[in-house]
Amino acid sequence: MSAPAESPVGGTIVTPVRRRRRIPGSVLTWMAVTPFAAWAAVRVAGLERGSLPTQIMTATPYAAAGSLLPLLVAALGRRRAATAVALVATTALGLAVLPRALGKAEAAAGRPFKVMTINMLFGRADAATIVRLVREFDPDVLSTQELTPGAVSDLDVAGLKELLPHRVLQAEWSAGGSGIYSKHELRELPDVVPDVGHKMPSAVVSVPGGEPIEFVDVHPYPPLGPNVVNWNQALRALPSASRDRVRVLAGDFNASLDHAALRALLARGYKDAADQVGAGLIPTWPANKKVPPIITIDHVLVDRRVAVRAVDVRTVPGTDHRAVLAELTLP
């Protein structure tokens, strides 16, 4: 209280000191807990809608780690209700994310089959590095996205034509081109994927020692702005697993395992190869930037009858996507 002042009328005037209102600790605790609880609810229920929420959902692994902080705050503050909600949120996010790092290689009898996929960023990916990886990894099939006519020539000059002579190519001078290269004979399958995104060629691969398989080169539009509608349509349009023939989908899905649209595709008879062997949290984008890769949007999805032996991720100069290499065993 300030010192009293003399009033010309008589008496004294008392000027109260203004005190800042403090936000109660319980309110601060709930402010910390609520965003993670909402994130967990959206992730578990698959409620992301629109472009921005869809993009944000790729950060779920980081949200899972971050949710430990409000849980600690609530617990130390002895806020029982907030602690309970924070614990549920952390548990839900943890169960959604941690299994991707806990898988292990599957042992099964069958035909070995190797897949490599790379987004070439408008054909700018270093052709020599790609061919060197092909020589080292020896894939049966190479799936390429953003394949341009110039990139086709560069890859052949670097030696890819001798290593993977069979091909179904739909190259374009844009991000829309794609192409499948193979050691084995290919037969193009037209109209397997409707025209709802970038070019996504499909082919029957005559793998020695058994029945042929179907292979789809995947590259929907990214879910940016109004393209999120097309992105959803493209993922829904990808073929389900078939009892009649083993099918493999590989490429730049522009989606992570935290997207409901990709999980819905997996529910139609597939499993993510990296997730299966504990490599599902290795980020694939953006590569070759000042910041390290932060999200996982390049995948190899396989029929559930296919065993996954190993998955590796490699950086290729010239492109913002990392190559994914998967070792499989066909039934």
Express each pLDDT in 256-274 by its tens digit: 999 999 999 999 999 999 9
Cα–Cα distance measured from residue 188 to residue 170, given in angstroms and rounded to the nearest whole number: 11
Cα–Cα distance measured from residue 176 to residue 119, given in angstroms and rounded to the nearest whole number: 11
pLDDT reading at 65 higher than 60: yes
Q: What digits encode the pLDDT tens for the residues 36-62?
A: 999 999 999 999 999 999 999 999 999
Q: What is the mean pLDDT of residues 135-152?
A: 98
Q: Provide the mean pLDDT of the chain.
A: 94
- pLDDT for 24 equals 77
- What does the domain layout of the chain look like in residue ranges? 25-100, 106-330
- pLDDT for 194 equals 85
- pLDDT for 19 equals 65
Q: What digits encode the pLDDT tens for the residues 278-308?
A: 999 999 999 999 999 999 999 999 999 999 9
The residue behind tokens 């902080």 is 69
- pLDDT for 13 equals 66
Cα–Cα distance measured from residue 115 to residue 311, given in angstroms and rounded to the nearest whole number: 10
Q: Torsion angle, CA of 281/287/288/292, rounded to 10 degrees?
A: -40
**106-330 — its CATH code?**
3.60.10.10
- If pLDDT is split at 50, 70 and 90, which confidence band does 119 have? very high
